[in-house]
Amino acid sequence: MSRNEPSRLQKNATRGKHQGMRRHQTDLRTRRTHQRLGCALVALILEKPVEKVTVQEVLDRASVGRSTFYVHFRGKNDLLLSQLEMFLETTSTALSVQKEKSHRVAPVAEMFAHIGSQRKLYRVLGDSGHLIDFFELAQGYFSRGIARRLSESGRLGNLPQTEVEARASALAGSLLSLLRWWIDRGAKESPRELDELFHRMVWKGV
């Protein structure tokens, strides 16, 4: 083998690097497509009832082809659920991802502020029956996210994992109940006040 000829390992490394770049580009294109479709759907359901929005209208608004849409989603409701899951995944893990050094187990202030600013969308989800889907998904996502933060806090000693998960599930339920209470009363209290109230319940009990 010539000294200037690349070795098999070098060739494999280069090939792997190129494959990794292609995967990254593909993932980026997929995220952008999902984002365009999701934004289009949300804009449309704010304009008219969810059941009257068609897939074709979403495609036209997002400038995405029908075949591309069905590669990623089974239909309009599948797209909507994916948007709810994306929001919940990002929100429920935000504190751990950001490595926030605090006693907080969930970004209550940030989440309440966002949902409070989207009350029309909240009503649309309620009118269409999809608010039930949101809260069912949220229970699972926040149970996992809060369990992670409880473990990271180091304040529970050596509790068995099952007890940590049980506490997290109960706290997630309390968080979502607090959200409903807040919205139903007209969101009178500030998100920061609700954040402080929730975390008093977390660490001091009711």
- Look up the pTM and report it: 0.83
Rounded to an integer, what distance in angstroms lies between the CA atom of residue 203 and that of residue 149? 13
Report yes or no: 125 and 137 within 8 Å, Cβ to Cβ.
no
Single-letter amino acid, residue 23: R
Single-letter amino acid, residue 100: E
Rounded to an integer, what distance in angstroms lies between the CA atom of residue 65 and that of residue 125? 26
- The rounded Cα 78 to chain-centroid distance in angstroms is 15
Rounded to an integer, what distance in angstroms lies between the CA atom of residue 63 and that of residue 47? 18
More confident residue, 156 or 39: 39
Closest C-alpha to 178, from 129, 124, 106: 106
Q: What confidence tens digit (pLDDT) does each residue in 88-145 have?
A: 999 999 999 999 999 999 999 999 999 999 999 999 999 999 999 999 999 999 999 9
Q: In which band, very low, low, confident or very high, does the pLDDT at 28 lie, cut at 50, 70 and 90? A: confident
| Mean pLDDT, residues 147-163 taken together | 90
pLDDT of res. 133? 96
Rounded to an integer, what distance in angstroms lies between the CA atom of residue 26 and that of residue 22? 6
